[in-house]
């Protein structure tokens, strides 16, 4: 397929290739060749006829632009394709031309071709996801003990580790990869129903022909033709949509951490990457940009596909065609998003010093909760919370370290001085001590993610 310019900006050739014009037309010819061979194997047509048909099922033999133009008039790309195929076969064998497309219908060709293109797209996406996941898991292990700010509602909260943050990016990708494979194993299925889905044109050979075709094309064999039963098919799209959202979440965090005033993580530097036409100093996060743009567009694509499920009777009018037009863009986008982030995390610029500086710049405020817990046995939970709330306000207003204010409060109160020692206070404000809970969770989860 030929993408508009700004679509091409978001989707490199690798992502678009499985659905380009030649790939889609060839997939339709692959259906016709497999149909002829399966019918010959079942004894429906002569083997020599099957050979004649299959020998000219090659996209490069046909005028693709002419096929596309004719499809607008015909209402289906399969109609002019089958017509041209029949004509070409007739040049070599009148007998073979009489059995081209026997027992099939336009929707069989187009649905099966789209399943073939989607499978190729998902195979390529799976390889990219494997690369991205491996890079993220390695990065997580490298930074299991690197302290950084956790942020809730866009505000500093407590201390976590960068390794755990990366692990939290990775876990949804591992789940999505598994569920997308599972959905594809059922949803990418042969379509072979004939005119109204009863396989009447195949007669008693329907089962044998279907099995032979599904095996030859590497597609699932459905329990029955699924012309207007789009549930298993759409589950593949919905899993892809969830994956796009998970990639978008990583892109969001990456973009926020890459802000110069935060400066904790940046995309790899390369000539011409992320520059500005006006500002020489700019280093824009273009990988995050792609992931965010795809995540922004994906819900509308999935909604359009879900909206097209109400297909009329035994073949949809407008609904099925809308689905066909919308489908490739979803998978091209998700592949592009994964590819962009895989390139980023092959060599990310991680800055532990900035992570630590951002913690220190808050004067210990992010340790207020464990500090209150330390005082709670002596003051009660409510009293400790009230005191730390007051001390935190003083620290935020005057820029004094919360640790020092808390030590002064302890020294000023005989009961606190007796119950709390300075070493315990110091431990509460140590970022490495604060990492203990994050490290425990990290160690518990990493082996399972590696295995998955």
- Using CA atoms, how far residue 265 sits from 94, 152, 273, 293, in Å, is 67, 18, 16, 20
Annotated catalytic, 211? no
Three-class secondary structure of residue 195 per DSSP = coil
Q: Token digits for 395?
A: 């620290």
Beta-carbon contacts of residue 329 (< 8 Å; ≥ 6 apart):
7, 297, 301
Q: Token digits for 276?
A: 């500005």
- Using CA atoms, how far residue 116 sits from 27, 100, 233, 238, in Å, is 6, 20, 12, 18
E strand segments, 54-211: 147-152, 155-161
Q: What's the burial of 370, exposed, middle or buried (CB within 10 Å: 0-12/13-18/19+)?
A: middle
Ramachandran assignment for 12, one of left (phi > 0), alpha (psi -120 to 50 degrees), beta (any other): beta
Q: Token digits for 394?
A: 């003083």
CB atoms within 10 A of CB 30: 20
Q: Token digits for 216?
A: 């030859």
- Using CA atoms, how far residue 399 sits from 152, 180, 191, 428, 429, in Å, is 22, 50, 69, 19, 16
In angstroms, rounded to a whole number, what is the distance separating the alpha carbons of residues 409 and 416? 8
| Residues 247 and 291 sit within 8 Å (Cβ to Cβ) | yes
Nearest to 59, CA basis, from 34, 16, 23: 23
**Catalytic residue of the set 276, 357, 440, 450:** 276
| Residues 442 and 163 sit within 8 Å (Cβ to Cβ) | yes
**Catalytic residue of the set 186, 315, 356, 427:** 315
Annotated catalytic, 276? yes
Instruction: Describe the chain by its helix, strand, coil percentages, rounded to 5.
Output: 70, 5, 25
Kindly list the catalytic residues: 276, 315
């Amino acid at each position: 397929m030929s993408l508009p310019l700004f679509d091409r900006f978001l989707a490199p050739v690798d992502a678009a290739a499985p659905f380009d014009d030649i790939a889609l037309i060839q997939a339709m010819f692959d259906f016709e060749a497999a149909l002829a061979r399966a019918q010959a194997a079942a004894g429906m047509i002569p083997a020599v006829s099957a050979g004649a048909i299959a020998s000219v099922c090659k996209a490069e033999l046909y005028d693709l632009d002419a096929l596309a133009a004719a499809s607008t008039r015909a209402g289906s790309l399969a109609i002019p394709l089958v017509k041209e195929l029949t004509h070409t076969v007739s040049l070599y064998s009148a007998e073979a031309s009489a059995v081209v497309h026997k027992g099939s219908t336009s929707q069989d060709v187009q649905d099966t071709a789209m399943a073939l293109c989607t499978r190729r797209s998902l195979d390529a996406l799976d390889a990219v996801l494997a690369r991205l996941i491996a890079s993220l898991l390695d990065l997580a292990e490298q930074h299991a003990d690197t302290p950084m700010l956790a942020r809730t509602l866009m505000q500093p909260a407590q201390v976590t580790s960068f390794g755990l943050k990366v692990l939290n990016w990775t876990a949804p990708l591992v789940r999505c990869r598994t569920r997308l494979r599972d959905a594809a194993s059922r949803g990418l299925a042969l379509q072979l129903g004939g005119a109204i889905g009863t396989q009447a044109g195949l007669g008693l050979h329907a089962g044998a022909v279907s099995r032979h075709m599904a095996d030859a094309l590497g597609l699932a064999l459905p329990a029955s033709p699924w012309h207007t039963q789009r549930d298993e098919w759409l589950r593949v799209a919905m899993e892809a949509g969830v994956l796009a959202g998970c990639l978008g979440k990583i892109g969001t965090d990456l973009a926020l951490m890459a802000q110069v005033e935060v400066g904790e993580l940046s995309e790899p530097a390369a000539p011409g990457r992320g520059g500005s036409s006006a500002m020489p100093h700019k280093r824009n996060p273009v990988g995050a940009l792609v992931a965010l743009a795809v995540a922004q567009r994906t819900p509308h694509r999935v909604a359009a596909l879900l909206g097209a499920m109400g297909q009329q009777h035994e073949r949809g009018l407008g609904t099925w065609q809308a689905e066909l037009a919308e489908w490739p863009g979803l998978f091209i986008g998700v592949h592009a998003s994964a590819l962009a982030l895989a390139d980023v995390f092959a060599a990310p610029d991680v800055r532990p010093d900035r992570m630590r500086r951002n913690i220190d710049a808050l004067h210990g405020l992010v340790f207020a909760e464990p500090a209150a817990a330390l005082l709670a046995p002596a003051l009660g939970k409510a009293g400790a919370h009230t005191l730390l709330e007051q001390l935190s306000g003083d620290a935020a207003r005057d820029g004094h370290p919360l640790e020092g204010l808390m030590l002064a409060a302890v020294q000023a109160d005989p009961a606190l001085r007796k119950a709390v020692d300075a070493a315990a206070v110091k431990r509460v404000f140590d970022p490495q001590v604060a990492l203990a809970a994050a490290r425990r969770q990290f160690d518990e989860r990493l082996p399972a993610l590696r295995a998955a």
